[in-house]
């Protein structure tokens, strides 16, 4: 099940392309899409002729606008939150460990889980229309896994990580470039040519050098992770999380009660 209707997989020469294909939902990720992404990572690493993996969203509205919120209606307790974060870490962690360079092409929104996917990509090429955010303090009232907090801090630093999450606002493409969330900003009409040029360059570089560098930095980022299940359990088991999901689904403002 490498390819589904919601997640497309194709290969062009030495480059593999994954397209998140739910433009009507701003490419919000379903469980099926997360599982398919994991399988794509396995397929890319198993094929020695693939030298680069490119991730992109269908349409021009979003890269990935997070996890499909409807799925959170199934949650009943903090243990569901633990299971969710473990499921997410299985996919995000696997993407991070792909042995080839991973390029995220971001046009439109990269939000929540979409930003997590982008953050573990090695290079993030975006258009001026790209928006980056983790608006969980305004929307669902949930949290990140401890690993994703560590990744974000390693990428943009603790001050910007706090600003991103506490203010719940979107970073523009230029702000993202300054912060390190984006590595390049390219006009929309030029981005396909730039991605092709970049993939050709990456495919020509020493694969072991790139693979070892990726793994060394991953180990440095995630070394000595503290236990944080208590934090995840507290937030996903809270009234406020369920209120956040309900208000999002009902398209109204949440009423936080701090419990």
Percent of the chain with pLDDT over 90: 97
156 has pLDDT over 90: yes
Mean pLDDT of 185-205: 98
Q: How many Cβ atoms from other residues are within 10 Å of residue 11's Cβ?
A: 13
Residue 33, Cβ density class (10 Å: 0-12 exposed, 13-18 middle, ≥19 buried): buried
The band of 1, judged by pLDDT with boundaries at 50, 70 and 90, is low
**Predicted local distance difference test score (pLDDT) of residue 226:** 95
How far is it, in rounded angstroms, from Cα 98 to Cα 211?
Answer: 8
How far is it, in rounded angstroms, from Cα 16 to Cα 252?
Answer: 40
9 DSSP β-pair partners: 18
Interhelix angle for 229-236 vs 239-250, to 10°?
50
The band of 2, judged by pLDDT with boundaries at 50, 70 and 90, is confident
Mean pLDDT of 118-147: 97
Tell me the two tokens of residue 206.
């020493």
175 has pLDDT over 80: yes
Choose the CATH number for 7-187 among 3.90.226.10, 3.40.50.720, 3.40.710.10, 3.40.50.360.
Answer: 3.90.226.10
**Predicted local distance difference test score (pLDDT) of residue 3:** 76
pLDDT digit string (tens) for 35-54? 999 999 999 999 999 999 99
Average pLDDT, the chain: 96
Cα dist from 89 to 37, 82, 117, 135, 200, whole Å: 12, 10, 11, 19, 30
pLDDT digit string (tens) for 57-116? 999 999 999 999 999 988 999 999 999 999 999 999 999 999 999 999 999 999 999 999
211 has pLDDT over 80: yes
Percent of the chain with pLDDT over 70: 100
Q: Where are the domains of the chain?
A: 7-187
């Amino acid at each position: 099940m490498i390819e589904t209707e919601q997640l497309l997989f194709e290969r062009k020469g030495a480059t593999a392309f994954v397209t998140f294909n739910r433009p009507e939902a701003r490419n919000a990720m379903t469980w099926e899409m997360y599982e398919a992404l994991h399988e794509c990572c396995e397929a890319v690493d198993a094929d020695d002729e693939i030298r680069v993996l490119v991730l992109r969203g269908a349409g021009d509205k979003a890269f990935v606008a997070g996890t499909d919120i409807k799925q959170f209606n199934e949650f009943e307790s903090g243990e569901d939150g633990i299971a969710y974060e473990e499921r997410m870490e299985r996919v995000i962690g696997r993407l991070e460990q792909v042995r080839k360079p991973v390029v995220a092409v971001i046009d439109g929104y990269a939000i929540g889980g979409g930003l997590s996917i982008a953050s573990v990509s090695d290079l993030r090429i975006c258009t001026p229309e790209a928006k980056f955010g983790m608006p969980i303090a305004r929307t669902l009232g949930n949290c990140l896994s401890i690993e994703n907090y560590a990744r974000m801090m390693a990428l943009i630093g603790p001050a910007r990580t706090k600003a991103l999450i506490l203010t719940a606002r979107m970073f523009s493409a230029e702000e993202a470039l300054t912060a390190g969330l984006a590595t390049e900003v390219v006009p929309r009409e030029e981005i396909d040519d730039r991605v092709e040029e970049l993939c050709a360059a990456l495919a020509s570089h020493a694969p072991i050098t790139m693979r070892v560098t990726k793994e060394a930095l991953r180990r440095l980022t995630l070394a000595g992770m503290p236990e944080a299940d208590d934090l995840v359990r507290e937030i996903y088991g809270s009234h406020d999380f369920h209120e956040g999901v309900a208000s999002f689904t009902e398209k109204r403002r949440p009423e936080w009660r701090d419990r």
